[in-house]
Amino acid sequence: MKRYYDPIIFNNMLDGIDRRKYLIATYCVEDTVPDVDFLDHFALIQQMILEGSTGTWAEVKEETAEVRERLSGKLVGYYEVPAPEGVKKAVVQFAFSTDAWGGDVPMMLLSFAGNCFAYSPKLRLLDVCFPELLVKQFQGPKFGVEGTRQLLNVEKRPLVLHIIKPKMGMTPEQTANQVYETAIGGVDMVKDDEMTSETYNCKFEDRLKAVMAALEKAEKKTGKKVIYFISVTDEVNKIHEKARNAVKAGANGLLLGYSAGPSVLRVLAEDPEIDVPILLHPSHMISMTPRISWPPLAKICRLCGADLMLTPSYWSSIPLVSLEEGLRTAQVKTAPFFHIKKTWPMPAAGMYPGLLPTLVREYGTDIVIPAGGGMLGHPMGYTAGAMAWRQAIDAVMEEIPLEEAAKTKPELKAAIDHWGILRRPRTPWLRASPKYHPKTSQEE
């Protein structure tokens, strides 16, 4: 007699699965059917697993037990979460065999982030754990945190990046002039906005030539190297050649939008001729946030070769995710991951110098902070805006309060007067009454 739930799919545990070859995807799933009392959650989950691997909604004779054993997804964890009557809610873990797609990134994404979302309107992908045999097929970031530090000759402190604004409309000369002003102010990097493309008044080659000339001029004045991440986001059939030509023409960094796809990122990162860091802008990821959490997206981009990647921050002008999800996104970019180098976290959106003490205590010093309006909107101008950031970084590294450092730094003082300093709230956990809490350094 045929069982309701195929043992090949259901009779598995994380303890017994071959972790070297199975990718583990973790989801939060919540389901209900109006006016139905009996909710068979396993029936729905079985269909979701088969949709991500071998099956369809009807039985097909060629889908044999052997095919399922080798290629179908497996349920390896089901952790029910208390829910109101008439609702089924759980954290579930599916294992997908890499025999189904090897190192093919687009096909891999179809398995754990494809049709499964059509089956459960409140399904959210929480994490992906990549197996060793799969990761060995990837190079990951060429430079990562340590390699980028070596390029810039900066050992420990956070790095600051100037986002070129407005997003579009400037000529190559205007762009280069803006970059020069922030470069002599001390920025470590500059980048195109993710929306920057070729327009009637700003061609790709002309912008690259003008900006690199401006950075060379600034370096002669300051002795400091600055990386320019020029956007190569384009049609898929054009990106690779565009990136190669940019490097040949002198580009020392590339910017790629996620809208082009992580597979394209991998192609660029694994090309030996493209020997410059790549900054991945998450762009389209924002629309995925209700269904896919940011840590697995960060892992995918790190695996595919992102040297830097913007990170959602709770304190930003776009409060996209929770504090914990934003921090976890940064943590998985730098946590041990077989041979894969670390990807720079970039707490982003609405950054200003008064946020720096909080950002460093949350993320550590291995961060790149991108600033557009929070640098270019400085009351004393673009160069002063860059200087204010460097002054804030120096103060934080020396553990000097920003208010104290600002007494002798007019650029930092103007930034603080203009934007303020974040006072991070505290949550009175652990003890019954906050009035009895001991004072700690965490309150500083």
- List the chain pLDDT tens, one digit each, 444 residues: 889 999 999 999 999 999 999 999 999 999 999 999 999 999 999 999 988 888 777 778 887 888 888 889 999 999 999 999 999 999 999 999 999 999 999 889 989 988 888 899 999 999 999 999 999 999 999 999 999 999 999 999 999 999 999 989 999 999 999 999 999 999 999 999 988 888 899 999 999 999 999 999 999 999 999 999 999 998 888 999 999 999 999 999 999 987 777 888 898 999 999 999 998 887 666 778 889 999 999 999 999 999 999 999 999 988 889 999 999 999 999 999 999 999 999 999 999 999 999 999 999 999 999 999 999 999 999 999 999 999 999 999 999 999 999 999 999 999 999 999 999 998 877 666 777 776 665 555
Task: Check residue 434 and give its pLDDT.
Answer: 72
Compute the distance between CA of residue 241 and CA of residue 232 in angstroms, rounded to an integer.
9
Compute the distance between CA of residue 421 and CA of residue 404 in angstroms, rounded to an integer.
12
| Pair (130, 159) in one structural domain | no
Task: Check residue 431 and give its pLDDT.
Answer: 64
Is 112 in contact with 74 (CB distance < 8 Å)? no
| Pair (222, 268) in one structural domain | yes
Is 119 in contact with 51 (CB distance < 8 Å)? yes
* DSSP states of 348-364: ESS--GGGHHHHHHHH-
| Pair (64, 43) in one structural domain | yes
- Active-site residue flag, 281: yes
Give the end of a domain, one of 109, 135, 161.
135
Apex 167 CA angle, 320 and 380, nearest 5: 95
User: 74 in helix, strand or coil?
Assistant: strand
**Alpha-carbon torsion 332, 335, 340, 342, what sign?**
positive
| Domains identified in the chain, total number | 2
* CB burial readout 101-112, b (16+ within 10 A) else e: beeebeebbbbb
- Residue whose token pair is 């990097």: 189
| Pair (199, 80) in one structural domain | no
For residue 431, tell me if it sits in a domain. no
For residue 3, tell me if it sits in a domain. no
* CB burial readout 216-252, b (16+ within 10 A) else e: eebeeeeebbbbbbbbbbbeeeebbebbbebbeeebb
Give the end of a domain, one of 118, 135, 152.
135
| Pair (326, 300) in one structural domain | yes
CB atoms within 10 A of CB 421: 18
Task: Check residue 378 and give its pLDDT.
Answer: 98
Tokens of 245: 């030509």
Contacts of 432 (CB under 8 A, 6+ apart): none
Task: Show the domain range for 403.
Answer: 144-419
User: 58 in helix, strand or coil?
Assistant: coil
* CB burial readout 320-358, b (16+ within 10 A) else e: bbeeebbbbbbebbbeebeebbbbbbbbbbbbbbbbbbb
Give the end of a domain, one of 135, 159, 183.
135
Is 123 in contact with 291 (CB distance < 8 Å)? yes
What CATH number did the domain enclosing 81 receive? 3.30.70.150
Compute the distance between CA of residue 231 and CA of residue 251 in angstroms, rounded to an integer.
10
| Pair (177, 91) in one structural domain | no
Given the residues 88, 281, 299, 341, select the one marked as catalytic: 281
Task: Check residue 61 and give its pLDDT.
Answer: 82
| Pair (374, 407) in one structural domain | yes
| Pair (183, 287) in one structural domain | yes
Q: Tell me the one-letter amino acid at 106.
A: P
| Pair (212, 119) in one structural domain | no
For residue 427, tell me if it sits in a domain. no
Contacts of 408 (CB under 8 A, 6+ apart): none
| Pair (104, 129) in one structural domain | yes
Is 4 in contact with 80 (CB distance < 8 Å)? no
Given the residues 21, 89, 122, 165, select the one marked as catalytic: 165
What CATH number did the domain enclosing 349 receive? 3.20.20.110
In degrees and rounded to multiples of 5, residue 179 shows phi and psi of -65, -40
In degrees and rounded to multiples of 5, residue 32 shows phi and psi of -155, 160
| Pair (194, 216) in one structural domain | yes
| Pair (297, 366) in one structural domain | yes
Nearest to 9 by CA among 61, 81, 63: 63
For residue 434, tell me if it sits in a domain. no
- Active-site residue flag, 341: no
Task: Check residue 55 and give its pLDDT.
Answer: 79
Compute the distance between CA of residue 350 and CA of residue 373 in angstroms, rounded to an integer.
7
- Residue whose token pair is 């029936």: 43
In degrees and rounded to multiples of 5, residue 350 shows phi and psi of 70, 30
Q: What are the beta bridge partners of residue 190?
A: 162, 228
For residue 387, tell me if it sits in a domain. yes
For residue 441, tell me if it sits in a domain. no
Q: What are the beta bridge partners of residue 159?
A: 368
Task: Check residue 287 and give its pLDDT.
Answer: 74
For residue 385, tell me if it sits in a domain. yes
For residue 181, tell me if it sits in a domain. yes
Tokens of 13: 């545990």
